[in-house]
Structure 1
Amino acid sequence: MNVSEGLSRVKSLLSHWATPRELPSQLTWKYGHESELLSWRIKARNYNTTVANLALLVMLMIASAIALVLYFSSEFIKEPWRTLSHVFVFALISIPAVCMTRQRMNFAYRFTASGAEFCEWKNFPEWTLRFLTCLAIVTAILFACMASLDRDASYLIYAVIGPAKVMLLRASMNSKIYRGVHTIFHLRTFEWSEFTEVVIDEKQGLVGLEFAWYDDYMKEDALSVASLFAKRRELDHLLAFFDERLPHLPRVARSIDRAA
């Protein structure tokens, strides 16, 4: 089997990754004028997932503890409002926790005869602002209904304080600084000659390409690994592609930093 046939076979095997490969307007392929040998797009968690999952578990336990403490210390609230209000407290804490620890980045990879291009981007989640706005409205309506049904004006205080806190959170999330932190656009371009090793992390199901670069701060040459996020079941097909394109590079089995 010659090189062209091998590349065609790998490209066919990866065809089910054929999600739209359109890039955001902030990014443009450098080798876009060349025919692609292989390309795919995927959403992945580019951070230590074990730590994130543990953090989520801890935050859910804290949310449960806070909700239970508030439940048993608010005997003045009648049922079923007492239960509903504290389920709401749990949701208010846990939903942001889930969103923070399950974030995914958009990745797009494109290989041509000239080299490789890796794009990553994350747009600001506008849905969170809409969710908080709806949450504030629902909270106000809920406590207003409680005040009307139980004829207890104290609920009107919560009808003001609850939505006010939610809208304050929304305002802080809508700030320029917060938006900047949660909006990312990166493009990395490599020539084939820049790669020095093919790194395999079977535990995470990742393949990485090691490359050399000059560290201006340390004033010395350095090595880094570009992670290639893909479906675990396609690991062998991806390695076959690199066998065709980079047969001279050694394969090394070691851990890959997902955030690199």
Structure 2
Amino acid sequence: MLTTEIRGSTAWLVLDRPEKLNAMPRGFFSELTDAMAALAVDDRVRVVVFSGAGRCFSVGGDIEDFGTIGGVADRRDYMAVALGAYRAVDEFPKPTIAAVHGHAMGGGCELTMVCDIVVADATARFATPETSVGLVPGPGIVRGRAQVNLHWMKYLVLTGLPIDAEQARLAGLVNTVVAEGEHLAEAERLAGVMATRSPLAQSVGKAFLARGAWEQQGYAAEAIALLQGADDFAEGIAAFTQRRAPAF
């Protein structure tokens, strides 16, 4: 579901599953890791921009797909791959931008948290609604704490409610809010600026700022794997597929 187009010195990575609002199936995370590895060694690329096809950035993980994951060992393996993909974006040696419109929910919201710069248009809405299906936002807990004001991060995790683009800017999740439909143009402008800066200095600066950020990765993977085996997760998935409120 990830398409790549290189224009000049910028790689445009598009979450391209618009018929599912760019929901992320399990295979997406390996695809993302592979894409970042390839772009890291592509000398044409100085900046990477993420965006979403269709009506939104991404509604996050494909819940129905995740509900089919088997036992604890399979869940651990899945979480290791998923968190590894977000880490690959976070530790990518070149600048990254998330250009967001519409919904950025769950894994989609967390993808913005591991990008260096987030541009949102006026339609953008951000949320980590995992608690509604008995989970927690793994990348959000691992990395979001460094990007987002702690009280806002707790609000996102504990309520699962969405915040708008301006609230996200005040929370520290978004750098710039632009008019509806202007997010790609602003991302292109910023990419052009960053492409003129020293790539070595950018890489060193990114590595320094991210130092120690993923120390809790193993804990997060284990915690989420265990949550996926709990009754609350089973109820959350059942409620989601039956389009009803969960009874925790």
The interval holding the TM-score normalised by the smaller chain is under 0.3
Name whichever structure is richer in strand by fraction.
1
TM normalised by structure 2 equals 0.24
Query: TM-score scaled by structure 1?
Result: 0.23
Question: Highest CA radius of gyration, 1 or 2?
Answer: 1
